[in-house]
Homo-oligomer: A and B are copies of this chain.
Amino acid sequence: MITVPGEGGDENVKVAVLVSGRGSNFEALCREETGRGVVSLLITDNPNAPALEKAGKLGVEGMYLFPGEYRTRFDPVHEERWAAAMKERGIGLVCLAGLMRILKGPILREFSGSVMNIHPSLLPSFPGLDAQGQALEYGVKVTGCTVHYVDEGVDTGPVILQRTVPVFDDDDRESLSARILEQEHVAYPMAVKLHCAGRLSVKGRKVVTSPAERSAGGILLASNEEEL
């Protein structure tokens, strides 16, 4: 089901990052170790996204593309253009990083098995908008972030990795979001590295790391301590 890029070879995988906002995960993907994954394109649906300026500074091609008139999803005609822009540039992996739109068609079809998202909760807890606020409202003592492959649901795709953070009694949305974001910036580059090394495969809903590496499937991701 997953396209295994560069298996056995050494070629790099061109990564596109799709954002709506400031692009802090985009920046982490550019700066952190991602192995064969090389961020080469940023696309945003927001002409004022601070991420555009970041892309310029980081020497990554950045573009605004019109998403259509809907507020939370693509107009399929325009999603087609996003997919085409990525295809033309030989993109092998699509990373959603704060893109405030649901993919329904062209991008998922064109990049089947090679679209990832990061979500600021331990899914399946708190899918959808304002995951940090949902966590505070529920009163959990632990939350975190999840990198997952994207399917047609909202935050429902197979989980690649998860990292945890504590919730403190005096946390507000801002302090908790900042703590989770630190872990996002570690988790997302790790997931991209594993994917681009051809080490991830999806069996049913389960993402398996090959060759088997206990640290990749678990302790690493849970304790936030060991590194790849």
Contact = CB atoms under 8 A, between A and B. Distances in A.
User: Number of copies of this chain in the oligomer?
Assistant: 2
A207 interface: yes
Nearest to A147: B141
Contacts of A69: none
B222 A137 contact: no
A162 B140 contact: yes
A139 to B, nearest CB: 4
Contacts of A164: 142, 164, 222
Contact of A144 (B123, B142, B161): B142
Given A122-B142, A165-B222, 10 more contacts: A139-B206, A141-B221, A141-B222, A142-B163, A166-B217, A168-B214, A168-B217, A169-B209, A169-B212, A170-B212
The 7 closest A-B pairs by CB, nearest first: A166-B218, A166-B222, A139-B206, A169-B217, A139-B205, A141-B162, A168-B218
